[in-house]
Amino acid sequence: MKKQLILVGITLFLLVDGLNGCTDKKNGLSKINEEKVLGQWTETIPGTSLIVTMNFVTNMSYYEIMNETRIWGTYTMTDETITLQNGGATHTFEYSFSNNENTLTLIETDGGEVNLVLTRQ
């Protein structure tokens, strides 16, 4: 009887642990991408001398610098999108990494016309 109880306990533990792993996998890719996005990224806006610099830091905050103006905000990520919030503004972008994760492409999804191709610095 004691062996059966131990076997049931182990089975229950493995089942619960396995189900927990399923819920973790849902956010697994976004967690990996949260680590990939960390650091400084820049783009020179075509046809201008305007340089956009975005810095993503570990506490889900970021700041961007345009024309020597620094704007702080927060961000959230899913497996497909990154949402930037600063002041009263919220912008959601589809994102992708390329060039050995040294290029970050952001395409605005919420009706705006902001598209950025940022290079890791």
pLDDT digits (tens, 9 = 90+) for 14-55: 444 444 444 444 456 677 888 899 999 999 988 888 899 999
Ordered structural domains, the chain, with CATH: 28-120 (2.40.128.640)
pTM, two decimals, is: 0.72
Q: What is residue 83's predicted lDDT score, i.e. its pLDDT?
A: 94
CB 110 within 8 A of CB 92: yes
Rounded to whole angstroms, how far apart are CA atoms 85 and 82? 10
Handedness of CA 21, 25, 30, 32 (dihedral sign): positive
